[in-house]
Amino acid sequence: MPLCTPSRSALMTGLYPIHNGMQSTVILPAAPWGLPLENKILPQHFKDLGYDVNMIGKWHLGFFQTPYVPMKRGFDTFFGLYTGSNDYYNHTSGSVSKKQEQITGALCLTVGGITHGVEPLLTDSPLNFYPQPFFCYFSHQAVHRALDSETFQAPARNVLKFPYIEESNRTIYAGMLDALDESMGRVVEALSSAGMLEDTIIVFSSDNGGGPYGIESNRGFNWPLRGAKFTVWEGGVRVPAFVWSPKFLKKSRVSNQLMHISDWLPTLYTAAGGDASALGTIDGVDMWNSLTHRSASKRKEILLNSNSLYNISGLRYKQYKLVVGGGFDGELDDHYYFPGGTRPTNDIDQLRNESTTARVLRKFYEKQDRSWSPLAWSNNVAVDCRRNKLTENFVPMQPPYLFNIEKDPCELNNLAKLKNKHFVS
């Protein structure tokens, strides 16, 4: 999805946001609305299966009334922020008109009483109290911007690793991403130390593409994909993800099959031992069999969004993608190249092998007398728009647009503008 709130609503409900009313925009701190209470959401479904369900991090689905907060929506514990973003160190949100807590848990924690960065708090607290079986929704604020589009924050030790970038905010973004990587490593390490790794499924994904410039910018560039956060171009809605499980996924692979964020609810519900049909009428598709047995994806179409507020909608059907409307006067419709200096020719696979997660997993697989190697993963997931040598045929603000995404992932050649378009219905 193109934005935080719509994406999170789809994750929690298994519904396209047009079916839960959350499709248009994000929830601002003082906004009197939230994810409708009539929607039964992910933690409530998992509690039906006997799971202890916990949340750490960013909620962003409404808190204007008590029934809308996470611990009233099914989570047994919650430690995080209600809003879309806040200061990483003092945890305040500049948009809140009165003093309100932006970090809330089972114990009441005041803003003034917390002096540490939020990411270490969220990372170092989760695995000390979970019984089994448990589900943890760990929703990092990183790599979101802080209070505004010009406020970027990350630990200095992480930022100092990237002097070659030579662009201040982009360098801090890299520091945020590096800190996120360290945080994930500590989670994997904690699971291993607790003896839980063998029976754990880890899913990592993002809620939307990066915002390189302008509104909601975090200096996240989606190159070589077109567009940015807020849009339904590939740069706004196409995000990398991975699933790891030693019990169910015996061999690593890269998949380019269609999958939508609403699919995680039925997929993980099935993985947890439930019957996805018990979830009722939802838009999400159970992908567990596709993930574990390499069978074809059941997904044929994805509604990327239908947003009348910003006048932009998108639909994917098999390899084709239709975009209608404009939005933002074409300001977010370009391909945005990375600013700053020339990066060193680091071996990405080598850097990955030096991470905390890699170190933990090597030990984990050695104990099982199994091999593990992530070599060449980056090459297998790279998007290369030069491969098919397409001629660019794109004019901003002149919809409709139709692309063959399998051949043209960077949305260069608008098939809807070709003279011979008998295949367009």
Residue 125 lies in a domain: yes
Burial label for 28, CB within 10 Å (0-12, 13-18, 19+), is middle
Taking a C-beta distance cutoff of 8 angstroms, is the pair 232, 313 a contact? yes
What is the CATH classification number for the domain harbouring 190? Answer: 3.40.720.10
Tokens of 45: 């479904």
DSSP-based helix, strand, coil % in the chain, nearest 5:
30, 10, 55
CA distance 92 to 29: 11
User: Which one from 60, 144, 260, 335 is the annotated catalytic residue?
Assistant: 60
Tokens of 418: 């070709």
**Selected residue with higher pLDDT from 87 and 170:** 170
Question: Mind listing the pLDDT tens digit for each residue in 226-274?
Answer: 998 889 999 999 998 989 988 777 777 888 899 999 999 999 999 999 9
> Looking at residue 102, what is its pLDDT?
43
Q: Is 4 among the residues known to form the active site?
A: yes
DSSP class of residue 166 equals -
**Which H or E run contains 150?**
none
Number of alpha carbons in the 13 Å side-chain half-sphere of residue 133:
15
> Looking at residue 147, what is its pLDDT?
74
Question: Mind listing the pLDDT tens digit for each residue in 317-361?
Answer: 999 999 998 777 888 888 888 777 666 656 666 777 788 888 888
User: Which one from 4, 136, 385, 410 is the annotated catalytic residue?
Assistant: 4
Number of structural domains in the chain: 1
Residue 413 lies in a domain: no
Instruction: List, in sequence order, every residue forming a beta bridge with 242; answer none if it has no partner.
Output: 204
CA distance 39 to 24: 18
Residue 84 lies in a domain: yes
Residue 40 lies in a domain: yes
Residue 364 lies in a domain: no
CA distance 1 to 236: 7
Instruction: List, in sequence order, every residue forming a beta bridge with 335; answer none if it has no partner.
Output: 226
Q: What is the pTM of this model?
A: 0.88
Residue 27 lies in a domain: yes
Residue 409 neighbours by CB under 8 Å, 6+ apart: 225, 234, 238, 383, 385
Question: Mind listing the pLDDT tens digit for each residue in 24-76?
Answer: 888 888 889 999 999 999 999 999 999 999 998 889 999 989 999 999 999 99
Residue 89 lies in a domain: yes
Residue 335 lies in a domain: no
Measure CA of the first residue to CA of the last residue in the chain; give whole Å: 25
Instruction: List, in sequence order, every residue forming a beta bridge with 313; answer none if it has no partner.
Output: 306, 324
**Residue in this structure with the two tokens 């002149």, named with its chain if needed:** 398
Tokens of 383: 């998007």
Q: Is 108 among the residues known to form the active site?
A: no
> Looking at residue 265, what is its pLDDT?
98
Domain of residue 40: give its range: 4-296
CA distance 293 to 289: 6
Q: Round the average pLDDT of the chain to a whole number and report it.
A: 82
Nearest to 355 by CA among 222, 191, 202, 180: 180
